[in-house]
Amino acid sequence: MKLRFAGTGDSAQVPCFGCDCLACQRARLLSCHRREPCCGEIELDGELILIDAGRMDLAARCERQRPAAILLTHYHADHVQGLLHLRWGRGESIPVYGPKDPQGCADLHRNPGILDFQPGLKPFRTLQLGRLEVTPLPLNHSKPTLGYAIEDGVNRLAWLCDTVGLPGATERFLSEWRPHGVVVDATHPDSYHSPNPESDDSPHPESHTTPRNHNNVAMALEIIERIQPSRAWLTHISHELDADFMATSRILPEGVELASDNLQILF
């Protein structure tokens, strides 16, 4: 299978509107450093499967090649906002798989148009998409969220985003399943701390908080260390993390890299 990183940014994208940090300045100058909302494309046997749908040019992408299916990790806007437009298209319906989330996003479920929303996926219940076997994996996030274990009969890829850490059952599944490649949420630099309005008066308001909805780099690397894939990519990257890498020239462990938009991997 072929994996393409169609977007590797967080909900603010890179450049972040109105931000003048070094990472945002660089992305305005050099488009190769831009990061669209986190999403992926899997190709096998000439068929296209999309993972998430937060890119604003989703309809244009789908006109070049109509996807056989869309896998959603969750219904936060940065992962589904492209569907708000795509749904009003014409032609055969497009099956959309994702977690059970009655709320969905905006009126997508009430007005699906050409999108054929399938019943919410059951964790660990494998789905067959063409020759791909896709197993939904529960993640830790602020909305019902699924990662995906994707296998083409030879190679195994785990897509783990958005998440902070991993639920025990997902980690046990992955330790046994032994993916060749892992794509994992690494939104924040390690220096990031969650805003905590209750401790505003404290002299060190952020000193005891850790990220609540997304991994920082250290947490992402711990996950990779425990699963031991041959290769791993950090994604859902914030402009703060890009700026941190620019400032510190941090070196990642062997086999681990920051994903970038348009990066393609042939498994």
> Which spans of this chain sit near a copy of itself (rule: CB under 8 A)?
11-13, 15-20, 37, 56-57, 59, 62-63, 66, 77-78, 81, 84-86, 88-91, 105-107, 114
Q: Which of 36, 41, 52, 78 binds Mn ion (CB under 5 A)?
A: 78
- Least distance CB 239 / a copy of itself (angstroms): 9
Q: What is the crossing angle of helices 168-177 and 217-227, to 10°?
A: 50
**Is residue 41 near Mn ion by the rule CB under 5 A?**
no
In the bound state with a copy of itself, the residue whose beta carbon lies nearer, of 143 and 231, is: 143
123: closest CA among 151, 157, 105, 97? 97
Q: Which residues pair with 156 in a beta bridge?
A: 151
- Residues 75, 79, 80, 82: what is their CA dihedral angle, to the nearest 10 degrees? 170
SS3 label, residue 161: coil
Looking at beta carbons only, is 89 or 144 nearer to a copy of itself? Answer: 89
Token readout for 142 is 């602020």
Place of tokens 């940090």: 21
With 0-12 / 13-18 / 19 or more C-beta atoms within 10 angstroms meaning exposed / middle / buried, residue 173 is: buried
| Residue 18 interacting entry, from a copy of itself, Mn ion, Zn ion, none, C-beta within 5 to 8 Å by type | a copy of itself
Q: Where are the alpha helices (DSSP H) in 76-230?
A: 77-80, 83-86, 168-177, 217-227
- Per rule CB under 5 A, is residue 162 in the interface with Mn ion? yes
Quick one: what does residue 263 bind among a copy of itself, Mn ion, Zn ion, none, with the CB cut-off 5 to 8 Å set by partner type? none
Closest contact distance (angstroms) between CB of 84 and a copy of itself is 4
Based on the shown chain and the rule CB under 5 A, indicate whether residue 151 belongs to the binding site for Mn ion: no
Q: Which is nearer to Mn ion, 78 or 244 (CB)?
A: 78
Q: Of 87 and 156, which has the nearer Cβ to a copy of itself?
A: 87
Q: Does 239 bind Zn ion (CB under 5 A)?
A: yes
Side-by-side strand order, sheet with 264-266: 115-117, 94-97, 69-71, 47-51, 39-44, 2-7, 264-266
Which chain residues interact with Mn ion by CB under 5 A?
76, 78, 162
